[in-house]
Each structure stands twice: as structure tokens, then as C-alpha cells.
Amino acid sequence: MRSVSSLLIVALTCGFSGVSAAAVEEVAEAQNVSDLAMVTGFHRVTHKASGFDVRLLEADGSASVAWNPVSLFLIVTNNGTCDGVQRIWRLPHGVVRVRGMSPTTCGADLRVDVDHIRDTVVAGTDPKVLHLCFLAENRLLCPTLSVTEVSIAAKRKAG
């Protein structure tokens, strides 16, 4: 795992020299990924409708963050050689753990656990879904990432 983590960090480095359910955040593409301390997890899906390869890197951010210590980086690429398209975003939310990732119409959904904070103390975890949109209606890759956090309980009531 350590060699895979090191390889992913080198590849990223060389390649580039509480929200409510209704809130949507626009995230600019990451320009400096040097704060990617140590990769601790990796998830991958192929977005079949667009052909893009979607990877999620989990990085240990516990040295700088007490709550939700896992930083998330999303990499979307078409794996092209001469016409390669790639975007890397650091998600604005840390998490406790990633449970899974699945493709959606506009991108991917991440099933995660986040710290439940009560009176500035961690009092367990809450399951959430981070709805990530990075595709335009014409299936082209957008320059920004739209992130919407939805609680599992709210999603079950709506569905």
C-alpha cells in the first residue's frame, strides 16, 4: 500500500506543478496538491455515459484537522493520450470514512461518514451522501465541481 500511495502522490505532484442539504458549493480545480500528505484510500468508477474515469483519493489530514480527518481529492480523466482531459479537485469537506462511490447523471455520489459534533465534541458519526457534479449536459467535463451534502435520513424521506 505504501508504494501505491507514493506512486499516486508522485503522479499527482508531477501532473500539476457543516453544509445543509439545500446548499451547493462550487469548487475550483486544485492548483496545488502538495498538501496531500499520505494517501490512505483509493476508489474508482468508470462513468459509462461519458467515458470518464473517476478516482477518489483519501489522504490523512489528521495532523491539521481534529474533526473529519480524511481529506478527499477527486480526479476525473478521459485517459486520452493526445487529447487528454483531466481535472483534480480537493473537496471542501473532510470525512471520517468513505463507504462507497457510484456514478450519477452529472458525476458521482460518495457515501461517507462524517463526525457528529455536539457542543464542540465528537459524539459519533452521521452517514451522508456527497453529490458531486462535474459533467455538463453535453457530457463535457466542467472546470468547476458542484458539491451538495445530503443526509441519508433526508434522502430516505425524499425517496
Q: Could you state, in order of their start, the residue ranges of all structural domains in the chain?
A: 2-158
Residue type, 58: E
Instruction: Output the nine-digit C-alpha cell for 39.
Output: 494517501
Strand partners, 86: 77
Nearest residue to 129 (alpha-carbon basis) of 152, 147, 108: 152
Note whether 82 and 96 are within 8 A (CB).
Answer: no
From residue 133, how far is each of 4, 16, 24, 76 by CA, in Å? 27, 22, 10, 11
What residues pair up with 70 in beta bridges, in sequence order? 60, 95
Alpha-carbon span 69 to 118, nearest angstrom: 17
Name residue, grid cell 481535472: 87
The one-character DSSP state at 77 is E
CA distance 33 to 46: 23
Residues 6+ apart with CB under 8 A from 46: 52, 53, 54, 103
The CA distance from 124 to 117, in Å, is 8
What averages of pLDDT result for each successive group of 10 residues across the chain (159 residues)? Answer: 42 40 71 62 90 92 72 89 85 91 96 90 91 93 93 61
Q: What is the pLDDT of residue 35?
A: 52
pLDDT of residue 62: 66
Give the pLDDT score at 5: 42
